[in-house]
Structure 1
Amino acid sequence: MATFKYKALDQQGREIKGSIEAESQNEASAKLRGQSVYVLSLKRAGFGINPFRWLLTLLSLLKPGRYTSPKAGDKVIFFRQLALMLRSGNTLTQGLEISSEMTEKRTLQRAIIDMLVRIQSGSSFAAAVEAQGRMFPPVANRLIASAEMTGELQLTLERLADNLERSAAVKRQLMSSLAYPIVLVLVSVGVFLGLTLNIIPKFATMLEGKSQELPAISQAMLDVSAWMVDYGAMTGSIFLGVIFVALVFYTTRPGKAVIDRLLLNVPLIGSSIRISGMAQMGWTMSMLLGSGLTVLESLRVMKAITGNMRLAECYEKAGSDILAGRSLAFGLQQRPIPVMVQHMTGIGERSGELEHVMTELGKYYQQLTATRIKAMTAAIQPVMTIVVGGMVAFVYIGFFRAMFAVSAG
């Protein structure tokens, strides 16, 4: 006996669903007609299951994305939602409670609930945010602490969301500018290794026992391939070892300071890091100054959130110069800081519109980052095409010259 699921209409025209046991589909249909119902659909239970559809259904129920770390976009949505709820008349605790229900990422949801519990226990919102560690950027608790004193929490949350969006956009632009040349270099290395370790050795085997003298380019091709076969593994191991040591060294504070300083001097990469850093400084300083923080406090926040330690050292020195009675423009007169930033900062200080000047600097350097990415992509593509094409041409010319030499002999 098999089980069949059906959908039918009873004598009153109502739709009914159920299952029935029968030897075949025809027998099941006959049984249902005997019950004075009109069969709409009838199918055997347990068959026709699509494994792919079942897997998609399972993933939609489990939602594995909920367990990943929250991205900048998740935090932007949280701050915007909270600002909207405060604007609508909800209290902070009500806003946090609703946000915890609307947030999909479990890590962020736990952080919101923890902040809610702390606030209900008498903690300030800024202290609750700071207690979440690296969940939120250091600038968040500084801004929120200032907003709690001035009563502009809703406006500050909106500014914070805007700043996170801009910072994420600058990082995406920077990563895209670095990703393209890295991919091209990896492709070039892959082509070179494939030619020297796979194709050319087979060609060299064909030429064994030939007494003819090979052309210079063909002999050079065979020599390079032979060297790679003999010493390539050792050279690759040393190279990977150096990379590993450099990465470990970069995890230490002295190592990060040294490597960050070196990166600023690397062609193309250094200028991209410097330009994106100035975009971040412009937007963030504008937001901090507009939220009521002093220039010195803003520089301390910039030092904490800046990824490149050399730029962080510049902000620290600028803060020390301000404590000594000097201007911000004087403090920013350091080598990694562009001259334009120094001059514009001085103009903003003299005119009393430093916040506006920082906003304009953020806009300018963010646009410059996008322009630089396009220019760099346009410059690198033909160069790498020539490099890869040159390697392939070197192999094929050497191959055909050797074949002509052997044939002529």
Structure 2
Amino acid sequence: MSAWEYSALDAQGGKRKGVIEADSGRAARQQLREKGLMPIAVESAHRKSGSNKKWQLSAKVSLRDVTLFTRQLATLVESGLPLEEVLQAIARQTDHKGLNRIIIAVRSRVLEGHTLADALSEFPKTFNELYRAMVDAGEKSGTLGTVLVRLAEHSERLHQLRGKIQLALLYPTALTLVAVAVITLLMTYVVPKVVSQFDHVGQTLPWLTRWMIFISDGLVAYGVFILLALVCVVLFVKWLLSRESRRFVWHRMQLRLPLVAGFIVCQQTLQFARTLGILVGSGLDLLQSLSIASTPVTNLCLRKSVQQASERVREGGSLARSLEQSGGFPPMLIYMIASGEQSGELEQMLIRSAQNQEVEFESRLAWLIGLFEPIIILTMGVIVLAIVLAILLPILQLNNLTGI
């Protein structure tokens, strides 16, 4: 039985889309007619990644939905139900249309005799390499339920971490936007209205007022062009960083910045330690685990360090010594990995190190946001004060002249 993606018309003439299971396209059309639908197009949902861009776009789902799917899958698999029944039950209660299509397509592949990991590999944008490798290890070792529980816990922690970052950045971002909007309004509307009253004075205005008028006139006359220039700069930077060699230089510079270097290293090593610990605990060998664990490391400089460490491990070196020689990783992480290798508890030490890194990451994030907020408020206050002084100084000057 295979999965078929369809588009059809209902009795009211509305267009319906979805995925159904059938032995053939003809059987799929017959099922649609029995449901009172008039099939327009019926195509096989089994498309390799990249062969159908439209299908790939419809297959995108959020991390939250993948996390929920993984938790449901782990719970039902551990209860002893057959995998195809588990997938069918999850598909029936899934509201997300894109995820529902993926689950039905995966179930069809499983019914055809493929492993779950092979079925998931057709959707690499939804299930990443770590996800598929852990599922494959769980199927080969006969501990799929246990591995899925670990994978669900990992996805939930990752989702919580992203949520904390987004929540922490919400207030500073809103504050910055409000500050920019207020200053722009003052410079393009308020300042021109007020300083126009000084045109007939015939006296030289204070230098602060003249500068403010110059900036205000520039924003009014060339504001659109300035905005377009900023967009072009952003697009240029994005193009500049599209090449891996340039991006590597930028990532190396990030690790040298005083305020953000520790923040970046903490976040990257947190991801690396947790991913490696889960992979090692799932039964994968260390070299394969290192190869997959380098994927969440988005900083290319640190990723290269992981790859260099992997080569040293392949040559017979210990993991702790190899990471230390590669450089870039915190000494505490190296120490805990060394302790885990000596005691035979590498998985536990990696997970514990990830937990410690997470606590440090949250404290660094709170400190960085706490530093950023007063800087924005102070900057906005200084600019508004300059605008107010630029308006008041000519008025005070006129009062002095009148008094004389």
Structure-1-length-normalised TM-score: 0.77
Give the residue type in structure 1 aligned to 2:354: G
Query: Which of 114, 127, 138 is the aligned partner of 1:123?
Result: 114
Contact preservation (8 Å) 1:174, 1:369: no
Give the residue type in structure 2 aligned to 1:272: F
Query: Which of 360, 373, 376 is the aligned partner of 1:381?
Result: 373
1:306–1:396 distance in 2 versus 1, CA, 3 Å = same
Q: Does 1:143 align with 2:134?
A: yes
Give the residue type in structure 1 aligned to 2:369: T
Contact preservation (8 Å) 1:257, 1:310: yes
Contact preservation (8 Å) 1:173, 1:373: no
Q: Does 1:165 align with 2:127?
A: no
Q: In structure 2, what is the Cα distance between the partners aligned to 1:276 and 1:321?
A: 24
- Bigger drift between 147-156 and 202-211 goes to 202-211
Q: Report the alpha carbon displacement of residue 374 of structure 1 after superposing the two structures with TM.
A: 1.9
The corresponding residue for 1:202 is: 193
The corresponding residue for 2:42 is: none
1:179–1:319 distance in 2 versus 1, CA, 3 Å = farther
- Bigger drift between 241-250 and 106-115 goes to 241-250
Q: In structure 2, what is the Cα distance between the partners aligned to 1:252 and 1:110?
A: 34
Q: In structure 1, what is the Cα distance between the partners aligned to 2:166 and 2:247?
A: 19
The corresponding residue for 2:37 is: none
Q: Report the alpha carbon displacement of residue 272 of structure 1 after superposing the two structures with TM.
A: 3.0
Q: Structure 1: where are the runs of 5+ without partners?
A: 1-66
Please report the RMSD computed on the Cα atoms of aligned residues, expressed in angstroms.
2.4
1:181–1:269 distance in 2 versus 1, CA, 3 Å = farther
SS of match in other structure, 1:136: coil
Q: Structure 1, residues 172-229: CA drift from partner, whole Å, max 9, x if none?
A: 3334444544444333333332222222222221111212233343333334334444
Q: Report the alpha carbon displacement of residue 252 of structure 1 after superposing the two structures with TM.
A: 4.3
Q: Does 1:346 align with 2:338?
A: yes
Q: In structure 1, what is the Cα distance between the partners aligned to 2:180 and 2:272?
A: 37
The corresponding residue for 1:361 is: 353
Q: In structure 2, what is the Cα distance between the partners aligned to 1:175 and 1:302?
A: 24
Give the residue type in structure 1 aligned to 2:392: F
The corresponding residue for 1:55 is: none
Q: Report the alpha carbon displacement of residue 85 of structure 1 after superposing the two structures with TM.
A: 1.8
Q: Structure 1, residues 75-132: CA drift from partner, whole Å, max 9, x if none?
A: 2222222222222221111111211112211211111111111122121111111122
1:202–1:335 distance in 2 versus 1, CA, 3 Å = farther
SS of match in other structure, 1:307: coil
SS of match in other structure, 2:149: helix
1:378–1:119 distance in 2 versus 1, CA, 3 Å = same
The corresponding residue for 1:102 is: 93
The corresponding residue for 1:174 is: 165
The corresponding residue for 1:4 is: none
The corresponding residue for 2:11 is: none
Query: Which of 61, 67, 71 is the aligned partner of 1:70?
Result: 61
Q: In structure 2, what is the Cα distance between the partners aligned to 1:249 and 1:304?
A: 22
* Residues 230-379 of structure 1 aligned to structure 2 (within 5 Å): 232-266=223-257, 268-333=259-324, 334-379=326-371
Query: Which of 193, 197, 205 is the aligned partner of 1:214?
Result: 205
Give the residue type in structure 2 aligned to 1:383: I
Contact preservation (8 Å) 1:188, 1:387: no
1:86–1:230 distance in 2 versus 1, CA, 3 Å = closer
Query: Which of 386, 392, 402 is the aligned partner of 1:394?
Result: 386
Q: In structure 2, what is the Cα distance between the partners aligned to 1:299 and 1:182?
A: 36
Q: Structure 1, residues 262-315: CA drift from partner, whole Å, max 9, x if none?
A: 444445444333222222222211111111112211111112233333332222
Q: Report the alpha carbon displacement of residue 161 of structure 1 after superposing the two structures with TM.
A: 0.3
Contact preservation (8 Å) 1:218, 1:398: yes
Query: Which of 78, 83, 90 is the aligned partner of 1:92?
Result: 83
Contact preservation (8 Å) 1:86, 1:92: yes
SS of match in other structure, 2:298: coil
Percent of matched pairs sharing the same residue: 25
Contact preservation (8 Å) 2:59, 2:102: no
1:169–1:201 distance in 2 versus 1, CA, 3 Å = same
Q: Report the alpha carbon displacement of residue 230 of structure 1 after superposing the two structures with TM.
A: 5.3
1:171–1:332 distance in 2 versus 1, CA, 3 Å = farther
- Bigger drift between 207-216 and 388-397 goes to 207-216
Contact preservation (8 Å) 2:277, 2:350: yes
Structure-2-length-normalised TM-score: 0.77
Q: Report the alpha carbon displacement of residue 331 of structure 1 after superposing the two structures with TM.
A: 2.6
1:186–1:240 distance in 2 versus 1, CA, 3 Å = same
Q: Report the alpha carbon displacement of residue 318 of structure 1 after superposing the two structures with TM.
A: 1.4
1:239–1:270 distance in 2 versus 1, CA, 3 Å = farther
Q: In structure 1, what is the Cα distance between the partners aligned to 2:142 and 2:265?
A: 36
